[in-house]
Amino acid sequence: MNASQSSSIASTATADTVFMDRALELAARGVALASPNPLVGAVLVRDGKIIGEGFHTYEGIRHAEIVALEEAGQRSAEGFESLVGRAFGHDVKAKNSAGVLTTEAANAHTSGISEAARGATLFVTLEPCCHTGRTAPCTKAVIAAGVARVVAAMEDPNPTVAGRGFKELRAAGIEVVVGLREAEARRLNEPFARWIVSRKPLVTLKSALTLDGQLVLPRAKGRSRAAVKNRWITSPESRAEVQHMRHASDALLTGIGTVLADDPLLTDRTGLARRRKLLRVVMDSRLRLPLRSKLVRSADSDVVVFTRKKVDSPNARALRRAGVEVLRVPGLGAKPGLAWMIEELGRREILSVLLEAGATLNSAALSARIVDKMRMFFAPKVAGFNAAGFAGTGATSASNGLRAAQELSNVTMVQFGPDFAVEGYLHDVYRTR
């Protein structure tokens, strides 16, 4: 290989990375809009220029590859606002009575874009699908459009696809490259990967702590309880990041202890669009959720309580009248079955659960091994006492069965203002099959 060839290869690799980064950026725009489908972005490039791009939203039906191919066919530049509109509003008339995009409609769209995309390279964050679901197979559209090369970040974890899309593209003579920016793509679709195989959501335990591991700060003499209650452990930067975590989640889980102590709303306050309301879930063994709590007063088919009490009890009936769903779950004694609860959320197509709770539920969740991922926000503060550790202390921890240390893998650390967040995994969500 001579110097000129080496330079050409390096130039191609650099350009590929730039275009894949753009596809990943587009995929992230589907956060809270694509679930229960995966986040996917696509960029179509010819002669070194982007001629089409797109991302997937559930309501928009069409997959990112098709949006990109259609934009290329239109041969016109579109701004982000128009792209969002197209992602949401594609051709509803092209669906059949079951809400599935017909093959005929897909072929009609493809016929108008074949010349524009012929010989182009498609950069996509996830393997193109090769099966018929709500749409016709993307592989068929890519082949029909005359795309010469496909660069994909990762294989689809869906067992229905799982490499078959790549095989079909290669059989059609298309060059396929897999693995560029794979780590970033896999991170985007951790919830989908967890759910599509196990039918259980990805559970992330998030907590805000002092350096000595406490969930609350001591109350200074002369200060009222209200004043102390409004004192945050972490910085505004950390709290803003937590709101983005809520936005990216399908459900938020807490315990009755947190509700009684803090009376939180537990809402997504980013102001960003989402397809489904954030489901607010409360573990409440004895059904003590107050009717005057902010959760109950703001309930709008988005609050679910899991309890061991009978669902026809007076408290349960009152909560239901207020718009709260009450579910009785199996368990030992008064303790609700956490594993059953997670399975129930999975049955409801909840792909991701953010656990924001106190010591008791944190410890129980770790003991039940339902936690896949942890993200701990540490503030440069010292509480100076040992009353509220994040996962129970002494008898509380032992009674919940947290008897052995659990080790995190793939640990990273990021700074948010004066705070730092430590993130790690208890389970590899891509090793579920």
Q: Which residues are catalytic?
A: 65
Q: In 3-state terms, what secondary structure has residue 246?
A: helix
In terms of DSSP H, where are the helices of 220-337?
225-229, 236-247, 256-262, 294-297, 314-321
Of 255, 258, 320, which is closest to residue 291 (Cα–Cα)? 320
Cis peptide before 201 (omega within 30 of 0): no
Residues 6+ apart with CB under 8 A from 353: 201, 202, 203, 204, 249, 250, 251, 252, 253, 281, 342, 345
Residue with tokens 């202390």: 393
Distance CA 88, CA 122 (A): 22
Distance of CA 52 to the CA centre of its chain: 26
H/E stretch holding 192: helix 190-198
DSSP for 37-78, written as a single string: SPP-EEEEEETTEEEEEEE--TTT-S-HHHHHHHHHHHT---
Q: Which helix (H) or strand (E) holds 359?
A: helix 359-367
